[in-house]
Amino acid sequence: MKVMTVFGTRPEAIKMAPLVKKLNETEGIESVLCVTAQHREMLDQVLELFQLTPDYDLNIMKQNQTISQITSNVLVGLEEVLKKEKPDVVLVHGDTTTTFAAALASFYQQIKVGHVEAGLRTYDKYSPYPEEMNRVLTGHIADFHFSPTEKNRMNLLKEGVIDDNIYITGNTVIDALFQVVDKPYEFEDETLKKIDFESKRVITVTCHRRENLGENMEHIFGAIRKIAEEFQDVEIVYPMHMNPKVRETANKILNNMERVHLIDPLQYQPFENLMAKSYFIITDSGGIQEEAPSLGKPVLVVRKETERPEAVEAGTVKLAGVEMETIYNLSKELLTNQEAYNAMAHAVNPYGDGHACERIVDILKKKL
């Protein structure tokens, strides 16, 4: 059986790396890895960490590339690879433009598609954009739907997906997390080296989504500024996204503040260990909503909605929205109310136990 895995961005690579490693070590499976390099530098960092060497590298990244350019370049680039390799199944992940284009390219070659992290929905096609439509369209192409949770399965059933083609596996991001977090971890970043994680309460921040650019981001950073000014024992670490618009807003509101550290993006392993040492997380990222609860860290999601309602229902995540006062008040509650903090920190992560990759490989062996 030949299984081709295709991904192109850092988040995909993180979540697919443990699956590729599992495929590589499984007898009876010929594993082929193709990367599109939709994100070049950040992708390479993950490949190096997990010691993966692609069989094919489409290397499509260009400065200021549009979504249409990414889609067309992946479609054209993958066509020859698929014709040459003729895999039994192509595995894609989540909701990136690489994901959708790779699924479409496979369909054009009449090759089965396995969708890892299937069934996430906000039911707003412009939020997140373009991810919501990427995952919906991929779901309509896929033959195997590897869903992290029961709620994801129900979303797919509502869209007419056959139940026999849906498999609840947990999320592969937990598999990856458990491979890289070390309690005695030493940071290389000079700023992080100087932070006293034992006596300070560290809040890790990530904020980068397109729909938060502009006024929403100003509200988010305004709340973070208020927290830093009010709580002297709090240190805030924000590994800033490379997007110039994000950096401009962050520097305007948070630069030169005492105990607020605006640093360059971290590679995957140091970032996961930063989360592990943090008190809680403020984020608009999807993956962090899945990862942080496994580390016992409360998460405030600075978005209007989330495609991960299981975390909200489980109590590991709170939807803070994008209004400054709401974000500030929820943060203040975690800093002043130990009972509220413990309720979130000790809730059970609904996204799995670190064995999702094993389940996916077993399903492929039985079904192909």
pLDDT score for 132: 97
Mean pLDDT score of the chain, rounded to an integer? Answer: 95
pLDDT for the residue 62:
87
- Residue spans of the domains in the chain: they are 2-171+353-367, 190-345
Q: What is the pLDDT of residue 42?
A: 82
Average confidence (pLDDT) over 214-221: 97
* Most confident by average pLDDT, 177-181, 266-270, 329-333: 329-333
- In this structure, are residues 173 and 153 in contact, taking their beta carbons and an 8 Å threshold? no
| Confidence (pLDDT) at 35 | 97
Q: Tell me what percent of the residues of the chain surpass a pLDDT of 70.
A: 100
What contacts 43, CB < 8 A, 6 or more positions away? Answer: 7, 8, 9, 10, 13, 35, 37
Q: Is residue 176 exposed (0-12), middle (13-18) or buried (19+ Cβ within 10 Å)? A: buried
Among 34-43, 127-136, 256-265, where is mean pLDDT lowest?
34-43
Please determine, for residue 183, whether its predicted confidence score (pLDDT) is greater than 80: no
Q: How confident is the model at residue 240 (pLDDT cuts 50, 70, 90)?
A: very high
- H or E element at residue 77: helix 67-85
Catalytic residues: 95, 117, 131, 208, 210, 241
pLDDT digits over 122-131, tens only? 999 998 899 9
pLDDT of 247 reads: 96
Residues whose CB is less than 8 angstroms from the CB of residue 190 and which lie 6 or more positions away in sequence, other chains included: none
The CATH number assigned to the domain with range 2-171+353-367 reads 3.40.50.2000
- pLDDT per residue over 29-56, tens digit each? 999 999 999 888 889 989 999 999 999 9
Mean pLDDT within 56-62: 93
Instruction: State residue 287's pLDDT score.
Output: 86
DSSP string, 4-53: EEEE-SHHHHHHHHHHHHHHHTSTT-EEEEEE--SSHHHHHHHHHHTT--
Instruction: Identify whether the C-beta of residue 42 lies closer than 8 Å to the C-beta of residue 269.
Output: no
Using the predicted structure, report yes or no on whether residue 330 has a pLDDT greater than 80: yes
pLDDT value at position 152? 96
Q: What is the pLDDT of residues 272-300, one digit of tens each?
A: 999 999 999 999 998 899 999 999 999 99
CA distance 19 to 16: 5
pLDDT at residue 261 greater than cutoff 90: yes
- Residue 14 phi/psi, 5-degree rounding, is -60, -45
- Tell me whether the CATH fold assigned to 2-171+353-367 matches the one assigned to 190-345: yes
Mean pLDDT of 74-101: 98
The residue among 195, 327, 316 whose CA lies nearest residue 263 is: 195
Rounded mean pLDDT, 69-78? 97
Give ∠ CA 238-305-309 in degrees, rounded to 5. 100
The residues facing 6 across adjacent strands are 34
Q: Does pLDDT of 237 surpass 90?
A: yes
Q: Identify which of 230, 227, 250 has the alpha carbon closest to the alpha carbon of residue 240.
A: 250
Looking at residue 188, what is its pLDDT? 94
* 120 vs 300: CA distance, rounded Å: 19
Whether 184 shows a pLDDT value over 90: the answer reads no
- Residue 151 is classified by DSSP as H
Tokens of 262: 């605006």
For the structural domain made of 190-345, what CATH number should be given? 3.40.50.2000
pTM: 0.86
The string of pLDDT tens digits covering residues 104-116 is: 999 999 999 999 9
CA angle 43, 49, 53 (to 5 degrees): 65
| Confidence (pLDDT) at 242 | 86
